[in-house]
């Protein structure tokens, strides 16, 4: 699906940018609520904390073989 999306936009002259964060080993062992409180105490902007909270509240896992 990712490859199809990249090809779709490339064929139409668009650039495609991808970012990935592999944080499963570190984040699965952390109490998420405590993490959010800690980063807010470090003066991380609330908007950024909200993005992280929203992101982690909707995580799903998908394993796909490419190739």
| Per-residue pLDDT reduced to its tens digit, 27-42 | 556 677 888 888 888 8
Domain that holds residue 48: 22-61
CA distance 51 to 17: 19
Using alpha carbons only, what angle is made at residue 6 by residues 62 and 8, rounded to the nearest 5 degrees?
A: 120
Q: How many CB atoms lie within 10 A of CB 40?
A: 13
The 8-class DSSP code of residue 30 comes to S
Number of compact structural domains in the chain? 1
Tell whether 15 is covered by a domain.
Answer: no
> What integer is the mean pLDDT of 10-34?
74
Six-digit token string for 59? 């995580």
Tell whether 6 is covered by a domain.
Answer: no
Q: What is the pLDDT of residue 35?
A: 81
């Amino acid at each position: 699906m990712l490859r199809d999306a990249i090809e779709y936009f490339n064929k139409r002259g668009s650039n495609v940018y991808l970012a990935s964060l592999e944080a499963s080993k570190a984040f699965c062992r952390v109490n998420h609520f405590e993490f959010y409180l800690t980063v807010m105490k470090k003066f991380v902007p609330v908007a950024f904390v909200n993005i992280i909270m929203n992101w982690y509240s909707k995580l799903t896992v998908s394993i796909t073989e490419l190739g």
